[in-house]
Amino acid sequence: MLIDKHHRIHDYLRISLTDNCNLRCFYCMPNEDYHFMPHQQLMQPQEILKIAQTFVNLGVKKIRLTGGEPFVRKDAAEIIQLLGGLGVELAITTNGTRVELFLDQLEAAGIQSINISLDTLQREKFQLITGRDLFEKVKENIALLMQRGFKVKINVVVVKGLNDQEILDFVHLTKDQSITVRFIEFMPFDGNNWNADKLVTWQEMLQQIGQKHQLTAFATEASDTSKYYTVAGHQGKLAFITTMSAAFCSTCNRIRLTADGKIKNCLFSESESDLLGILRSGGDLEQLIQMSIWDKHAALGGQFSKDFEKIDTNNLHNRSMIAIGG
Ligand code: SAM
Ligand code: SF4
């Protein structure tokens, strides 16, 4: 069992397959010229399998593949197939631009639920946010996934003045479709120009939606990072990831593995443990994993207080989101 010194059990591993991506979302990829990790620095398929198997032996029950964009990796299908054999719940987070090429492999690996990022329902704004004109492709692929019977969650990072006026349009998507829309509070990472004025809090979003709709909160698993709501008369659901205004660290069960094989015991941790290095040098993977989890800070990587207005991004030491794996 993987337990930290604050008595939290960790059974959910998020593996980043790559820090590469075909989109350029400003909140995720730094402004300056970003240098993608060289291939030899990335975990290779058999290395991912070996590391994932070790985590499963230590009690991990769910693995999510992420990135960067997992589907830009040439051997993504092979990795999905290998991990599909581990017998744990497998899930994936994608920008939805290439998922149509992998449907058979996703089904074969038993993946039922797919999270897709989409921050706007307007084509021009999509291009502004992501730097690419792929809005129609993502929309088509969401429809395709739903037709094929996948459970789809849409991740929307809400940024003040950019897409907060579209919140109700996203809520409307849940009217006749059994889809979950998850609004994510904008978080600070290296190079993303975060400041508190750009944050739209969960409470502000609730207020906006509550003026038009009747919302009812419902409970899910204690370790769930999302706060879930039904909307009266709607088939789908809403959820909020409230990292900034109401952090959920006390029930955190997550471990992150970067594409270059470093354990981050928290999304905001400054320290990392080089698991791939240990694997390649024949060292003890289990011991390093256990030590890394044990040392996890009580909240937010020990890097900032829960009072988001006091965050000074100059004092945050972390990777950019694209290099962590969201
Ligand atoms: N490329 C895939 C995608 O876009 O879904 C997977 C990787 S992406 C880093 C994972 C999630 O992190 C996405 O839902 C994205 O919107 C979210 N994300 C990235 N940067 C963020 C930020 N600064 N604040 C909040 N969420 C962020
Ligand atoms: Fe790429 Fe996803 Fe980051 Fe956007 S959020 S740049 S799609 S990894």
> According to the model, what pLDDT value does residue 68 have?
93
Does the structural domain 2-154+249-324 have CATH classification 3.90.1150.10? no
Using most ligand atoms within 8 A of CB, pick from 65, 128, 130 the residue to mutate for ligand 2. Answer: 130
Cα torsion angle, 29, 20, 72, 88, sign = negative
- Would you place residue 154 in the very low, low, confident or very high pLDDT band (cuts 50, 70, 90)? very high
Domain ranges of the chain: 2-154+249-324
Segment 208-234, tens digit of pLDDT? 999 999 999 998 887 788 899 999 999
Residue 90: CB partners within 8 Å, gap ≥ 6?
Answer: 62, 63, 64, 65, 80, 83, 84, 109, 110, 111
9 backbone φψ class: left, alpha, beta (φ>0; ψ -120 to 50): beta
Segment 80-118, tens digit of pLDDT? 999 999 999 999 999 999 999 999 999 999 999 999 999
Whose Cα sits closest to atom 8 in ligand 2?
A: 68
Whose Cα sits closest to atom 15 in ligand 1?
A: 117
Helix (H, G, I), strand (E, B) or coil at 8: coil
Other beta carbons within 10 Å of 117: 24
Segment 272-291, tens digit of pLDDT? 899 999 999 999 999 999 99
Using CA atoms, how far apart are residues 48 and 52, in angstroms rounded to an integer?
6
Higher pLDDT, 120 or 243: 120
Helix (H, G, I), strand (E, B) or coil at 214: coil
Segment 19-74, tens digit of pLDDT? 999 999 999 987 667 889 999 999 999 999 999 999 999 999 999 999 999 999 99
Residue 38: both structure tokens together: 């060289």
